[in-house]
Amino acid sequence: MKRTVDYTWRLAELMAANGMHNSTDLIPRLLERGIDLSRPQVYRLVTQRPERVSLQMLAALCDIFGCGVDDLVAVTAADARKKKAVSSTSSPNVVELNRTVRPRRARVIRDGD
C-alpha cells in the first residue's frame, strides 16, 4: 500500500523555547560547531522548510538545543487514499449509449423545395 510521508520543520519553535528570537542568534552557536553560514542562509534555515539538510547540520542543531532529531523534525505518514473507480451509472452526467440505437440523419430542406 502506498503511503504519503511529510514533515514539519520546528527550528523556529525550538529557538523561541530557548529564548532565541532572532535568526542571527544562531550564527555564533553554529560557528562554534564548525558550521559557517551567511545571515540569509540562516534566516532561510529558520523560516523556511528545508528540503535538504546535512547530517552535520542536524547534529549541530540538536547539540545547540539539547534535543533529538525527532524534536527538530516532526514526521507524519499516512496511507494514501485509493481513488474510487468512476462507473458510468453513478454519474448523472454520463449517458449510457446503447449500440443498437443510432441517431437519425438530419434532412436539410431548402426554402422553395
Residues 45-86 pLDDT 10s: 999 999 999 999 999 999 999 999 999 999 998 887 766 665
| Collapsed DSSP state (helix, strand, coil) of residue 73 | strand
Placement of cell 500500500 in the chain: 1
Please, what is the Cα angle at 41 between 22 and 65, to 5 degrees?
50
pTM attached to this predicted model: 0.66
Among 41-50, 84-93, 96-105, whose mean pLDDT is lowest? 84-93
What local confidence, expressed as pLDDT, does residue 84 receive? 64
Contact between 76 and 8 under an 8 Å Cβ cutoff? The reply is yes
Query: Domains (ranges, CATH) in the chain?
Result: 3-79 (1.10.260.40)
